[in-house]
Amino acid sequence: MALVSLSACLLAEATAGHAAELSRETPQDSQTFGGAKTDWHGFDRYDFFLDEETLAIKAADTDGVVKGQRRCIVVPPKTAAAGKPWSWRGCYWDHEPQTEIELLRRGFHIAYITADANLKPDKKWDAWYAFLTEKHGLSSKPAFIGMSRGGEYSFTWATANPDKVACIYADNPGANKSVFKGLVDLAGNDVPVLLVCGSIDPLLGKVALPIESAYHQFGGRISIMIKEGAGHHPHSLRDPKPIADFITQSVQELPSAPPAFVGRGVIKTSFYSIENTYRDLPSERTYVTWRGPLSAPCYDRYNFGLEGVEGNIDVIAPKTAAPGNPWVFRSGFADRDAVVDLALLAKGFHIVTGPVPYNANGPLKSHWDAVYKHLTNHGFSPKPVMEGAGGAAGEVYAWAIENADKVSCIYTENALMRSAVSKTPLPENLAPLAKAGVPLIHVSGKLDPWLKDNSAVAEERYQKLGGKFISVIQEGRGHYPLAPADLQPIVDLITKSAHGDK
């Protein structure tokens, strides 16, 4: 894990925006909320009662608990930010409020509705949301703040209303079955999540890590900060700036139009590394393990279909395309361990996963031809890098052999040289690739059971054909892990080949 100070982290770019960059509206008219006001950390606080039967909301005329009435609170900022953003606390009013105080300074409203073990998100929460958004013009997408049970409640309402949430900051959160079931829709609505947890909190392994894993697999953006040696308390951070920056950045995001190459039925998700960084956090007097989009580049992944092609196509787009629009044409889903793809994305490559139909045992050449034509017609390089791991390697070889003049190189990890769509054994059919001068790059574990009968045979035959074969044998490794231990030489070879330097 890399060791870096918090001051050097990627959030520095986000903090440069801070409150000063939030465009401001006219000062908030506090009387808009009506009723008596009290002071809350230097800001005006307004209390309301929500009738549990009628859902009517009126200004509270007394302190304390009133039977049949749910207390609600809103605190407006001195000056409201554009769009009237707001945060919604899921439970435990005024506990570790430093993030909310910072948000008030940035122009956010903050809100709360009474919640405890017996008062869970329900139609009362919906009524409070409608009161703030429809009657008082607050943003239709609040940012949620939830600690412990409040984290569970934040996720509970958000997963039931995934199109009405700007982001979620959950601190040592609890969860329930409905939360885990709803994560796929929350990720599908591209709701950013930040988890702040203690390394010895009993809920870390039961809740936070499973949420992180599932959300990442669904393509959602989720970052986690794990405070070394901390338990369930204290919640939050003494210096709330990283949390407030995450919330501010999330509510300021604007939707972007999909690229021109995207086909029909597009679904946009995210792709990023889960590599850990270890950072000093002086305000907490400890270090944090930090991973996710707040500490690593995050790329847009587009899943879409094309007319006449069975199966969907995945395209992961770089931040900025490299000259010539190089790309990887791969078989098999690019998962969280695809470190070569992540490195190539950083160099400006697109990563494309070819379609596999549901009614055939492997890709169909005509469908891959259609994808190739579609992307090259949209400016992609005419010679992609072919890539596959394990059994997927054979499928990219099958297409590459039939289209040798359209390939810059082939990169595989622990390759199985077999394809359901090739009538001739692949190692016996490499001549078209050698004639076209296509470099073959194989990374293999020395203990991989497929090495002897696959990569080793391919290397011997390709060299006899006069082809360039680069073999990287990793001592002590079997079939997994797939990725090369020494990443840079592989990425350099692929990059040079893609740019025509063979």
Domain boundaries, the chain: 2-27+73-252+274-290, 297-498
> pTM for the full model?
0.89
**Looking at the predicted structure, is the pLDDT value of residue 27 above 60?**
no
**pLDDT for res 502:** 58
Whole-Å CA distances, 79 to 6, 105, 226, 320, 490: 30, 8, 34, 37, 54
Could you say which architecture CATH assigns to the domain 2-27+73-252+274-290? 3-Layer(aba) Sandwich (3.40)
What's the per-residue H, E or C state across 210-224?
HHHHHHHHCCCCEEE
Q: Please tell me the least confidently modeled range out of 70-79, 125-134, 493-502.
A: 493-502
Report the chain's C-alpha Rg in angstroms.
Answer: 27
**pLDDT for res 422:** 81
Nearest Cα residue to 298 out of 264, 332, 262, 249: 249
What's the mean pLDDT in 265-269? 94
What's the mean pLDDT in 49-57? 96
Residue 362 vs residue 223, higher pLDDT: 223
Q: In this predicted model, what pLDDT tens digit does every residue of 437-477 receive, in sequence order?
A: 999 999 999 999 999 999 999 999 999 999 999 999 999 99
Residue 425 vs residue 41, higher pLDDT: 41
**Looking at the predicted structure, is the pLDDT value of residue 202 above 60?**
yes
**Looking at the predicted structure, is the pLDDT value of residue 232 above 50?**
yes
Tokens representing 389 are 């791991």
**pLDDT for res 17:** 37
Could you say which architecture CATH assigns to the domain 297-498? 3-Layer(aba) Sandwich (3.40)
With a CB cutoff of 8 Å and minimum separation 6, the contacts of 335 are none
Distance in angstroms between the alpha carbons of the first and the last residue of the chain: 34
Predicted confidence band at 316 (pLDDT cuts at 50, 70, 90)?
A: very high
Q: Are 250 and 87 in contact (CB under 8 A)?
A: no
- Fold match between 2-27+73-252+274-290 and 297-498? yes
When the pLDDT of each residue in the chain is averaged and rounded to a whole number, the result is 91
Predicted confidence band at 35 (pLDDT cuts at 50, 70, 90)?
A: confident
Q: Are 276 and 199 in contact (CB under 8 A)?
A: no
**Looking at the predicted structure, is the pLDDT value of residue 335 above 50?**
yes
Percent of the chain with pLDDT over 90: 84
Q: In this predicted model, what pLDDT tens digit does every residue of 357-375 receive, in sequence order?
A: 988 888 999 999 999 999 9
What's the mean pLDDT in 173-194? 96
Percent of the chain with pLDDT over 70: 94
**Looking at the predicted structure, is the pLDDT value of residue 19 above 70?**
no
